[in-house]
Chains A and B, each alone.
Chain A
Amino acid sequence: MMGWVLFAIVAWLVGLSVNIWLARQKPSRWATLASPIVFGLTLIAVWEGVVRGFDINQVLLPAPSVIAARFATSLDILWIDFVQTVIKGALSGYIIGCGAAFLTALAIDRFPFLQRGLLPVGNFVAALPIIGMAPIMVMWFGFGWQSKAAIVVVMVFFPMLVNTVQGLQASDAMQRDLMRTYAAGYWRTLLKLRLPAAMPFVFNGLKIGTTLALIGAIVAEFFGSPVLGMGFRISTSVGQLALDLVWAEIVVAAIAGSAFYGIMALIEGRVTFWHPSQRT
C-alpha cells in the first residue's frame, strides 16, 4: 500500500521537475508540445498511485488501468454508442443547426433593422440554459436520434447566428467602397469580400458549437432514448455502479470532443490563414 503512495509522490516530483526543466529551455515547438503531455502523464500516474495506495473503492474512483482495461474489452458497446450519439445525434444536428444559422444570418444581413434587434436578442438567447429544452424535444421527436439532433440544432443555432451576423459586419467601409469602385454587385461583394472577412467569426461560432453539440446530444438521452447511446449508457451504468464503464464513455466523449474541436481549428487555420491570430 505504502509503495503506491510513494510511487504517486515520486511521479509527481519527477513530472514537476521535468516540466520546470522544460520551461527553462529555449521556447521551441517541441517543448510546448511535451510540457502538457508530461503534465497529463503525471496526473494519470498520481491518480493510479493514490487510488491504489489509499485503497479507494473502485465504485467511487476507478484507477486509470482499470478504466483502460474496461475500454479495451467493451470496444463494441462504446462504438455503437458513439455512432448513435455522436454521428447520428450530435453531428447531424450540428450540420443542420450551423447551416440554418448561417443562411438565416445571410438573410438578416440584408435588413439592418432586423439586425439591430436580433443581435441583442440572439446574444441573450445564447446565454440561456437552452439545454432545458431537451425534454420538450424528446416529447416532440420521440426517443430516437432525431430528438437529440433537434436539441443540438437549437443549441448551436444562436451562437452561430450571432457570430455570423457580427462577422458579416467585419469588413470596413473602405474595403466595401473599393468593391464598389470595381463595380461589384451585392453577391460579388459578399463572395469576394464579406464572407472571407466573416470567416474568423464564423469559425468562432463553429468551435463553440462543437462542445455544445456533444453536450446536447448526451444530456438529451437522459430524458429518454433507445437502449443505446452514450448518455443512456452513462445514466444506466451509474445506476448499476459500473463506474469503470462510465469512465470509458467519458474517455470516448473527451476524445470525440477534442477531435471535433481540433478538426474545426485545423480547418480554421487553413481558411483564415491571413488573420493575425493565425500568423506566428
Chain B
Amino acid sequence: MRNIIPILTVVGLLILVWYGAAVALNAQWARDVAARADRTLTFSELVADTWSQEKPKLPAPHQVGAELWETTVMKKVTSKRSLVYHTWVTFSATFLGFVMGTALGTLLAVGIVFNRTMDMSVMPWVIASQTIPILAIAPMIIVVLNAVGLSGLLPKAIISMYLSFFPVVVGMVKGLRSPDQMQLDQMRTWHASGWQTFWKLRLPSSMPYFFTSLKVGVAASLVGAIVGEMPTGAVAGLGARLLAGSYYGQTVQIWSALIMAAALAAVMVGLIGLVQRITLKRMGMA
C-alpha cells in the first residue's frame, strides 16, 4: 500500500501528458477550421476545441470516458453497438484459448521434465516456435480453418492457445525442476515412485511458477484473440471494433475499445492473482 501515492502520481502525470498531447495533436485541425471561418482562436478557445472534436487525432480522456459510458451502461448488453457484447466475444475466445494453451503447456512441461528425449528434442523447438510471429499469420490460420469448416470461436482460440502455451511450458519446466536435490533424495529414501514424487513434491513446488506464467499467458492470449478478430471481416469483438474504427476514422471508438481491452487484461490478471494468493496461502507457501 505504500506505493499507492507514487502510483497515483504517475497515473496523474500520464493523464496530464495525454491532455497536453490532445491539444498539440488536434490544434492543426482546429486552426484550419477557424481559418476557413476567418477567425483566430484565443488560447482557451483552442484548448476547448481540441478537447471536443468529432474525429480528433487524439481524443481527450473525458471524450473516451463519455464514449465508454455510452456504449457500456447506456446500451443493452445484447445490442451489437454495446461494448460489453464485443468484450464478451473477445473474452470467450481468450478464455477458451487460454485454457487450451495452459493444458497443452502443462502436458508438454510434464513430458519435458520426465522424458530426456523430449527435453532434448522438443524444448529448443518450443523456444524457436515463439520467434515465429504467429500474429502475422493469424489471417492465414483463420482463412484456412474457415475453409475446413471451423469458424467462429475456435480459430481465434487456437491463435490464443499458440501464444499462451509458451509461457506455461517455460514456467512449468522451471517449476517442476525447482525441488532441490536434497528434497528429491528425501523422496527416494521414502521409496516414493516417480508418480508420487510428481504429485507430492514436484507439482506443489511448481505452483508459484505456474501462477506467474498464467498471468503472462492470459495477457498473451488476449492479444491473440484481438488480432485473430481483425481478418474475419470485422464482425464482432474488440479487434473488430479497432479495425472498423480505423476504417471510418472513428478515433474515439478505437480508444474506447483499447481502454476496454486494457480493463479486460487487468481484470483477468487480477483474478489470477487472487486465485494465486488464496491457493498459495492454503498451501502454506505465501
Contacts and interface: CB of A to CB of B under 8 A. Distances in A.
A129 interface: yes
B262 interface: yes
Contacts of B226: 129, 131-132
Interface stretch (A36-44, A98-106, A179-187): A36-44
B131 A211 contact: yes
Contacts of B120: 19, 22-23, 31-32, 35-36
Interface stretch (A166-174, A197-205, A249-257): A249-257
B254 A238 contact: no
Interface residues of B, number: 61
A234 B130 CA distance: 18
A-side interface mostly: helix
Interface size class of A (residues with CB under 8 A): 35 or more
Contacts of B140: 234, 238, 243, 246
B6 A117 contact: yes
B20 interface: no
A36 to B, nearest CB: 4
Interface in B13-51: 14, 25
Given A215-B133, A235-B231, A135 B243 contact: yes
B136 A218 contact: yes
Given A222-B139, A235-B139, A211 B125 contact: no
12 contacts: A19-B121, A20-B117, A36-B121, A115-B6, A116-B3, A117-B7, A127-B219, A127-B265, A129-B219, A222-B230, A223-B246, A234-B140
Interface of B: 2-3, 5-11, 14, 25, 57, 116-117, 119-125, 128, 130-133, 135-137, 139-140, 143-144, 147-148, 215-216, 219, 222-223, 226-227, 230-231, 238-239, 242-243, 245-246, 249, 251, 254-255, 257-258, 261-262, 265-266, 269
Given A23-B119, A132-B239, 11 more contacts: A23-B117, A36-B124, A38-B121, A39-B121, A117-B6, A121-B7, A127-B269, A132-B258, A135-B242, A219-B133, A234-B137
